[in-house]
Structure 1
């Protein structure tokens, strides 16, 4: 019992710190938002490379320049998607990301050819998948934050900068609510296994979590209008995407861990695992929400 109580205290304290850090990064400024997700980006990359190395030990033979260079190349993708909202030494991060990205595009292959004992296409493919899975997702999160989308009705409740925070916060809340509700419903009435990849998931918990996520986000969207600037139907769509695609993202990361034969992707958050454990659902949901925004609201 003492162990259970201590575990609960550890998980609770970690969760509180996690929420405080996330809210500070999300709400404070463009810079805090960028720094927060830059840290998460590099954390996800470190764990991804560790998992791939466990799945295929040959990936551990990549050169240090490949290992760290691909992380920086991915970070350039994030820089590129920041738009014109953040500047450093008179240059927008968007421009810095573009030029650094071009530099890495030419230098990485050359250095790999010069210093790698053997060029292995599969290792390059693993890194390319990491760019798609991690870097593009966080880059599109930067795009959601920096893109100002006019509200559906005139309102002075929020500044343009504040409207930029609405979609990212709504998406993250959708993921959290879906995960929490799925866990609660599954614990109470879950009986039918959902997938062999994640034995603890049940159909009852998955469906119940998705329904409650959509209902809660729809109610929040309805009662905060017109301050949030978006029609409730958009919030229903975002919540639905988060619930469905987020669940797929969770299963994808669970599959990676199962093949790698590890319980958690990392241990940065005591009692909660690593970066990929916390953001697996969000990583896959971001591109689909971004695509919905481009098609429905632009």
Structure 2
């Protein structure tokens, strides 16, 4: 009993710290947003490489140039998706990301040929998947940060910097609400297993969480339309994507952990696992929300 209480306190304290750090990074300014997701990017990559190494030992033989170079190459994708707000030493991060990315495309294969004992295409494939799964997702999150309110909406009192916070925050809150509601509903009435990959998930919890997530976000969107500038239907779609694709993202990461035979992807957050454990749903949901924004709002 004492151990259970201690575990609950640890999880609660970690959750509070996590939420405070996330909100500070999301809401402070564009630089805090960039720094927050840069840290998350590298954290996800570290855990991804560890999981792949456990699944296929050959991946642990990659050279340090490959191991760290692919992380930096992925970070260049994030840099590329920044906008003109991000300027350092008179240079735009967008341009730095473009030129550094080109440099990595040419240099990494050459270094791999020179220093790797054996060239294994599958190891290159694992890293390429990581670039799509992790780096592209966080790059698109930076692009969502650059999203602007449709001009038909009367939101002149919002600054461009405020506009950029709306969709990323809405998506993240949707993920949080879906996870919370799914847990509550599943705990109360969950009986039917949802997937062998994640035995604790139930159909009742998954469906109930999705419905409540959409309902809560729709209500928030309806009552805050003058402040956020988007019609409620867009919030319904974003919440639906977060619920459906986010759940799929959770299952993908659970499958990775099961094949790697580990409980958590990392231990950066006591009681909550690692970066991939916390952001698995978001990683898969971001590209779909980004695509919806491009098709429906731009």
Is the Cα–Cα contact under 8 Å of residues 151 and 230 in structure 1 kept in the other structure?
no
SS in 2 for 1:201: coil
- Give the deviation of 1:296 after TM superposition: 0.1
| 2: CA distance, partners of 1:284 / 1:198 | 17
Q: Paired residue for 2:267?
A: 267
Q: Distance in 2 between matches of 1:146 and 1:153?
A: 17
Alignment of 1:125-204 (within 5 A): 125-150=125-150, 152-204=152-204
Residues 85 and 146, structure 1, Cα contact 8 Å, conserved in 2:
no
Quick one: distance in 2 between partners of 1:33 and 1:24? 8
Partner Cα distance (1:143, 1:149) in 2: 14
Tell me by how many angstroms 1:70 deviates.
0.1
Counterpart of 1:222 in structure 2 is: 222
Separation in structure 2 between the aligned mates of residue 133 and residue 25 of structure 1, nearest angstrom: 22
Shift of 1:27: 0.4
Q: Which residue number in structure 1 is paired with residue 81 of structure 2?
A: 81
Q: Is the 8 A contact 2:149 2:230 kept in 1?
A: no
Aligned mates of 1:157, 1:193 — CA distance in 2? 48
- 8 Å CA contact 1:133, 1:284 repeated in 2: yes
Tell me, in whole angstroms, the C-alpha distance in 2 between the residues paired with 1:34 and 1:164.
12
Q: Distance in 2 between matches of 1:128 and 1:85?
A: 29
Question: Equivalent residue for 2:109?
Answer: 109
Query: Quick check: 1:152–1:231 contact (8 Å CA) kept in 2?
Result: no
Distance 1:151 1:189, change over 3 A: farther
> What TM-score, normalized to structure 2?
0.99
How many Å separate the matches in 2 of 1:149 and 1:123? 42
Structure 2 residue 273 is matched with structure 1 residue 276: no
Q: What whole-Å deviation, never above 9, does each CA across 1:120-159 have from its counterpart, x for those lacking one?
A: 0000000000000000000000000023233542123421
Would you say 1:69 and 2:92 are equivalent positions? Answer: no
In 2, distance between residues paired with 1:149 and 1:249? 28
TM-superposed CA distance for 1:161, in Å, is 1.1
Question: Counterparts of 2:223 and 2:175 in 1: how far apart (Å)?
Answer: 20
Aligned counterpart, 2:55: 55
Contact conserved, 2:149 with 2:229, CA < 8 A, in 1?
no
Contact 1:83/1:147 (<8 A) preserved: no
**Hey, what does 1:16 align to over in structure 2?**
16
Tell me the equivalent position of 1:119.
119
Cα distance in structure 1, aligned partners of 2:48 and 2:81: 22
Task: Quote how far apart the aligned CAs of 1:265 are.
Answer: 0.1
Secondary structure at the counterpart of residue 153 of structure 1: coil
Pairwise CA distance, 1:225:
1.2
What's the counterpart of residue 289 of structure 1? 289
Structure 2 CA distance, aligned partners of 1:177 and 1:115? 48
3-state SS of 2:228 partner: coil
